[in-house]
Amino acid sequence: MTVITCIEDLRTLARKRVPRMFYDYVDVGSWTEGTYRANERDFQRILLRQRVAVNLAQRSTRSTMLGQEVAMPVAIAPTGLTGMQCADGEILAARAAKAFGVPFTLSTVSICSIEDVAEGTQGHPFWFQLYVMRDRGFVERLVRRAYEANCSALVLTLDLQISGQRHKDLKNGLSAPPRLTLRNLLDMATKPRWGLGMLGTRRRTFGNIVGHVQGVENMQSLAEWTAQQYDPTLSWDDVAWIRRLWDRKLVLKGIQDAEDARHALASGADALVVSNHGGRQLDGAPSSIRALPAIVQAVGGRMEVHMDGGIRSGQDVLKAVALGARGTYIGRSMLYGLGALGERGVQQALQIIHKELDLSMAFCGRTDIREVDRSVLLPADPSPAFFNDPQGDFA
């Protein structure tokens, strides 16, 4: 029996259990994958300041994100094709998040629909991530569906006007459901757990799109529609339009630049997410943790700053919070758990990150995550200049 102690253990197991096409979809960045790798690597360069002889008997990782009480400052990120990692994956991940006490964010390009997840979680509020498509009527209907499903926040992604080139996806011929080629059939035959799950569900394609767009009824028409729908004309005027449509919490995802952060602040959004789309868009962009301090400084506490990209441990969460993030998001870490062990694997991923966060915070002499600041890092007041200097170091 495999003993799971860290996110890497879940990743290794997921790689064995998920068909290559869908595992690679998770474990991929654009072009050279330099930014994808930097998201993880730059966390490792930040050193923690260990303290001793502090009363650590009463500790709390509880906080709030968008006014919502959370067990730790972590949300599950919106991830496309989650239901291809494991049958009904979005429902299972949402249930795990609900049980643990953190937000779940459903992607526009999910396999399970908004309504599926709402039913599967007994109406428990979750967040919905929105792509603005060329078909604005579809977008408006999608926003209305999220509202009617009691979604408490809308996460508007701004960095996918055009899609970055991901070599593995192109070589694998990524599609949902997978095409029944000899290569795919042979691969799926070695993943019986995954295959049995897929045979037992009706959810195998993009649930938020099929049946909700005129003329999209099969894989060919869906592929043609989606290829045409990402909108390069997306602008801050469209953000203002979405703000008028949505009177609940609004989050802008994909901010990497301080000037864009100021635009986000002026838009009336409630929070922004410092994100480079997991290194899947502009290869060569800075890691999210490098970009974070300048963006925190730019908004000056006038809106919540969240971040995603590269979080594989509770220590990463602690470092992000120390540098000003009010909340963090896990995508790949959750997907590794889901692919490895289904709903139980997502629960385990959250438990691993929580335990690492709690212990690391304690070793740094803190007992409440809300009291964590830059003083838990070395040096005591790391300059934002570090994150703009490839040669910078905390040591």
Tell me the per-residue pLDDT of 76-130, one tens digit each, with 9 for 90 and over.
Answer: 999 999 999 999 999 999 999 999 999 999 999 999 999 999 999 998 999 999 9
**Within 13 Å, how many C-alpha atoms sit on residue 273's CB side?**
30
What angle in degrees, to the nearest 10, is found between the helix axes of 314-322 and 34-44? Answer: 80
310 Ramachandran zone, left/alpha/beta (phi>0; psi -120 to 50): left
Every domain of the chain and the residues it spans: 7-378
- Which among 263, 277, 306, 354 is annotated as catalytic? 277
Please, which residues bridge with residue 104 across strands? 76
**Residue 223 Cα to chain centre, angstroms:** 24
Q: Is the pLDDT of residue 391 over 50?
A: no
Q: Is the pLDDT of residue 382 over 60?
A: no
- CATH number for the region 7-378 comes to 3.20.20.70
Please check whether residue 129 is in contact with residue 157, taking contact to mean a CB–CB distance below 8 angstroms.
Answer: yes
Please give the structure tokens belonging to residue 393. Answer: 């170091």
- Rg of the chain on CA atoms, in Å: 20
**Residue 347 Cα to chain centre, angstroms:** 16
93 Ramachandran zone, left/alpha/beta (phi>0; psi -120 to 50): alpha
Q: Return the pLDDT at 175.
A: 84
Tell me the per-residue pLDDT of 240-257, one tens digit each, with 9 for 90 and over.
Answer: 999 999 999 999 999 999
Q: Is the pLDDT of residue 58 over 80?
A: yes
Query: How many CB atoms lie under 10 A from the CB of residue 272?
Result: 28
Query: How many CB atoms lie under 10 A from the CB of residue 259?
Result: 10
Please check whether residue 107 is in contact with residue 82, taking contact to mean a CB–CB distance below 8 angstroms.
Answer: yes
For residue 277, indicate whether it is catalytic.
yes
Name the percent of the chain lying above pLDDT 70. 94
Please check whether residue 317 is in contact with residue 72, taking contact to mean a CB–CB distance below 8 angstroms.
Answer: yes
Which residues make Cβ contacts (< 8 Å) with residue 392, sequence separation at least 6?
A: 385, 386
177 cis-preceded (ω within 30 degrees of 0): yes
Secondary structure (DSSP) of 310-324: S--SHHHHHHHHHTT
Rounded Cα distance between 339 and 238, Å, is 35
Tell me the per-residue pLDDT of 289-336, one tens digit each, with 9 for 90 and over.
Answer: 999 999 999 999 999 999 999 999 999 999 999 999 999 999 999 999
pLDDT tier at 392, thresholds 50, 70, 90:
very low
Q: Return the pLDDT at 230.
A: 87
Please, which residues bridge with residue 230 across strands? 133
At residue 133, φ and ψ (nearest 5 deg) are -90, 165
User: What CA–CA distances, in Å, run from 304 to 2, 220, 251, 324, 347?
Assistant: 39, 41, 9, 9, 26
* One-letter amino acid for residue 79 of the chain: T
Q: Is the pLDDT of residue 368 over 70?
A: yes
304-308: strand order across its sheet? 74-76, 327-330, 304-308, 271-274, 249-255, 153-157, 127-130, 105-106
Q: What is the DSSP letter of 2?
A: P
Name the percent of the chain lying above pLDDT 90. 87
Rounded Cα distance between 323 and 52, Å, is 22
Q: Is the pLDDT of residue 13 over 50?
A: yes
Q: Is the pLDDT of residue 218 over 80?
A: no
Pair type for strands 63-65 and 377-378: unpaired
Please give the structure tokens belonging to residue 356. Answer: 């690492």
SS3 254: strand
Average pLDDT over residues 11-22: 97
**Residue in the structure block whose two tokens are 């253990």:** 9
